[in-house]
Structure 1
């Protein structure tokens, strides 16, 4: 398939710059994955589409303040780095800007010497391996010196840093938020559990690989970068028990989707464990575990549009995106949400009229920089 098959025109003004005050007041476009039928709701109406016996799978990764600004020792040239992936011995894979100033052996200081990094290698895509030295606890230093790695298409200053975290964020390690989860409040999650829906936690630390642009014409030739995931035994059991009992697996975001699909056997049994995944899901992929997906509206020609097209079909997805643009939905990280499901499987929800004027909050699954960008998380 050609990358241009996943292109569409998006007006710049539909890129959400700020999160809504109320997370769950974003709009929700419901897409029937078999028929392409569309319904317009608000996000808290997700309660009407979930059923007792379902399992909601959420990614509880936590975004670290991964953007650091330092100076090159000797020249005082300004250098910006983005932490991508933790290696061993205080070594991180990083994206450096400008890269030409970061040759092997370059020393970069941050916070007047509170943190020092030495470039020890250059790896794939020109990323740098940097070994850090410091006194104390790295995470505490990062909290003092680092900034949230918002995608470059968000130009507004984020007043409340917690709005780029899900309310259930727990395990630090992501360079981008699993943004489909940004719509949930603690109260909404409590209501979901009270109606008999299991909530399973998985962890996938989101890197830039998911959001890098596809630079080849034929998408089958694109290679995803690896991301680290963890599935605990108790959480795998929730998913497997749901499948056995005939419930649906509803993944929140493409990152949760990629985790369960990476860790499942061909017959749909989710295995506990941890590892690195490079899974690339595009049309033709046969889903092993996932039944439904809550996601955001993604960038043209991105691997995330390809993933949702694998679930609902390219034509249905692009038609839904055209509808979302006509209806002035908000796109990307702080934008609105989409629920991909089968409206005619089991009970059909009582839809009714949507209220609201369409100015709501959102998802996406992206980050990026000069690397590309596209993010939930």
Structure 2
């Protein structure tokens, strides 16, 4: 069956509330780990993951950093307006550039209490940043299909938007964690290797890793490598269409160095993705390489985009090395040190992974695109894996336990 014709109701299971982890464990690497390989399931603790990873493999992490994207403004009347920053407004403004803007910026946002925000009213918030008093203002610029475009400006204007958000915002926990974020979430809803600000949701598979676990992995001749995909709120977007043909997959920004792509093209051992975001990025790189082979005039310095269904429509016969080598060569020819692009890649049953051989990931919601991605890798055995996790008291979703899935 083609992925366009998949019925989302075929990818569901019963997830009781008591199976959802609402808080992280005291120790990151104390989570349970389910290992699936060749149809067999093994259960262990996450701190032992190094013993299950193939030697000489490349372990790829997403080093995006979650920003405090929820801003609460109090109206003069006393009511509260909540603004959830999703992504920069404008196709040519990548997240890294938007985060570095000083003085003013426009973002696509969701607004809680929008009906009570009268036209023309400018919301204000006073914050302290590096012993400096900052006045942050928000005004409604436009209404869009996905929410609102909000114009932010602040004085003094010599601080970046990233700094302002960090001082003024609240950590955006997933909607299924039905509690307010606390100080613990500021560190625990962030990976230990987070570097580049831009996500509104954590790449949660990485939350289990500690510096000690990473050192153990390196001691077994497993090489950690890093790329960036800024996770958008669309990762939680429910699938409401009966078939996936009607579902609009969310787009997310990726930022990958040319050196990483060259290194990946030369790697001949297994590639293991830490999280669905790393996998989506790695598979996107393959297809952007195919686009370079298919069309020699692809402008990698412009706004490169991989749409939802392109991976099923582009030529299918190129090897992983051919595609990645072509992408690296095109970037070098165009003098680009980094690839910045957006991806809507939709990975579901019917898709053959081109780069990734195994995946470290948490347990996902029923009827979600993330569950479809897991099913693309291990087929119908996803039901066996999830049933085992439910029966053996694994904790589910963002703060839950982990799995290491070797693809069929």
| Deviation, structure 1 residue 158 | 3.5
Q: Secondary structure at the match of 1:263?
A: helix
| Deviation, structure 1 residue 342 | 5.3
| Deviation, structure 1 residue 238 | 2.9
1:91 equivalenced with 2:106 (yes/no): yes
| Deviation, structure 1 residue 193 | 1.7
CA 1:58–1:104: 2 relative to 1, 3 Å: farther
| Deviation, structure 1 residue 278 | 1.0
1:3 equivalenced with 2:69 (yes/no): no
Question: Aligned equivalents of 1:330 and 1:309: distance in 2?
Answer: 19
Match of 1:147 among 148, 163, 170: 170
Question: Aligned equivalents of 1:75 and 1:18: distance in 2?
Answer: 35
Would you say the 8 A contact 2:32–2:401 is kept in 1? yes
Within-5 A mapping of 1:190-209: 190-209=215-234
Which is greater in Rg? Answer: 2
Structure 1, residues 175-198: CA drift from partner, whole Å, max 9, x if none?
010000001001111221222112
Would you say the 8 A contact 2:377–2:407 is kept in 1? no
CA 1:158–1:75: 2 relative to 1, 3 Å: closer
Q: Secondary structure at the match of 2:364?
A: coil
Would you say the 8 A contact 2:7–2:244 is kept in 1? yes
Question: Aligned equivalents of 1:123 and 1:225: distance in 2?
Answer: 16
> Which stretch shifts more, 115-124 or 260-269?
260-269
Question: Aligned equivalents of 2:266 and 2:219: distance in 1?
Answer: 18
Partner of 1:350: none
Would you say the 8 A contact 1:200–1:239 is kept in 2? no
| Deviation, structure 1 residue 45 | 1.9
Question: Aligned equivalents of 2:373 and 2:52: distance in 1?
Answer: 21
* TM-score (structure 1 length as normaliser): 0.84
Superposition CA RMSD, Å: 1.9
| Deviation, structure 1 residue 78 | 1.6
Question: Aligned equivalents of 1:239 and 1:258: distance in 2?
Answer: 15
Would you say the 8 A contact 2:273–2:360 is kept in 1? yes
Partner of 2:23: 18
Partner of 1:367: none
Partner of 2:115: 100
Question: Aligned equivalents of 1:47 and 1:98: distance in 2?
Answer: 47
| Deviation, structure 1 residue 31 | 1.4
Question: Aligned equivalents of 1:108 and 1:307: distance in 2?
Answer: 41
Would you say the 8 A contact 1:66–1:147 is kept in 2? yes
Q: Secondary structure at the match of 1:133?
A: strand
1:250 equivalenced with 2:275 (yes/no): no
Runs of 5+ unmatched residues, structure 1: 344-377
| Deviation, structure 1 residue 51 | 2.4
1:240 equivalenced with 2:226 (yes/no): no
Structure 1, residues 208-230: CA drift from partner, whole Å, max 9, x if none?
11210001010232111211101
CA 1:18–1:78: 2 relative to 1, 3 Å: same
| Deviation, structure 1 residue 102 | 4.7
| Deviation, structure 1 residue 104 | 6.2
1:327 equivalenced with 2:332 (yes/no): no
Runs of 5+ unmatched residues, structure 2: 1-5, 94-103, 128-133, 291-318, 328-337
Q: Secondary structure at the match of 1:150?
A: coil
How many residues get paired?
A: 335
Question: Aligned equivalents of 1:167 and 1:109: distance in 2?
Answer: 33
Ranked by relative contact order (alpha carbons within 8 Å, sequence separation 6 or more), the top structure is 1
Structure 1, residues 283-341: CA drift from partner, whole Å, max 9, x if none?
1112121111000001111110011111111x211221111000010001110001111
1:341 equivalenced with 2:386 (yes/no): no
Match of 1:116 among 137, 156, 177: 137
